[in-house]
């Protein structure tokens, strides 16, 4: 007896959107924070490579964990809040150190 496979749940689309768009934006903000606050400040040599290559692992960690949220709306709200917090901190650091 074969069981009918479950259809893709509708909230998976919103979770995927949250992970792709908001997760990418969050990874960018976190990489920017590391660039400004990390060792040597913004002008450190070879730091651009580390910041650039840190984007993909950060993004994929957020993208993978976004499916742990109960609903897509929660994923969007939490990642949206995390983006607001991260970019606020990034703009504060840029204004105070730059």
DSSP string, the chain: -PPPPPPPPTHHHHHHHIIIIIHHHHHHHHHHHHHHHSTT-TT-TTHHHHHHHHHHHHHHHHHHHGGGSSSHHHHHHHHHHHHHHHHHHHHHHHHHH-
pTM of the entire structure? 0.86
Whether 1 has a pLDDT exceeding 80, the answer reads: no
CA angle 90, 63, 79 (to 5 degrees): 45
Q: Which two tokens stand for residue 86?
A: 């991260």
What confidence score (pLDDT) does residue 6 get?
64
> What pLDDT score was predicted for residue 43?
83
pLDDT tens digit string along 66-95? 999 989 999 999 999 999 999 999 999 999
The mean pLDDT of 54-62, rounded to a whole number, is 95
Per-residue pLDDT of 2-32, as tens digits, reads 666 666 677 889 999 999 999 999 999 999 9
- Mean pLDDT within 45-64: 92
């Amino acid at each position: 007896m074969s069981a009918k496979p479950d259809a893709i749940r509708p909230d998976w689309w919103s979770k995927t959107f949250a992970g792709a768009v908001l997760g990418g934006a969050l990874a960018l903000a976190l990489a920017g924070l590391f660039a400004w606050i990390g060792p040597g400040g913004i002008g450190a040599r070879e730091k651009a490579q580390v910041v650039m290559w840190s984007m993909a692992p950060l993004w994929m960690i957020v993208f993978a964990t976004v499916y742990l949220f109960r609903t897509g709306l929660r994923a969007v709200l939490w990642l949206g809040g995390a983006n607001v917090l991260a970019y606020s901190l990034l703009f504060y650091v840029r204004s105070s150190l730059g």
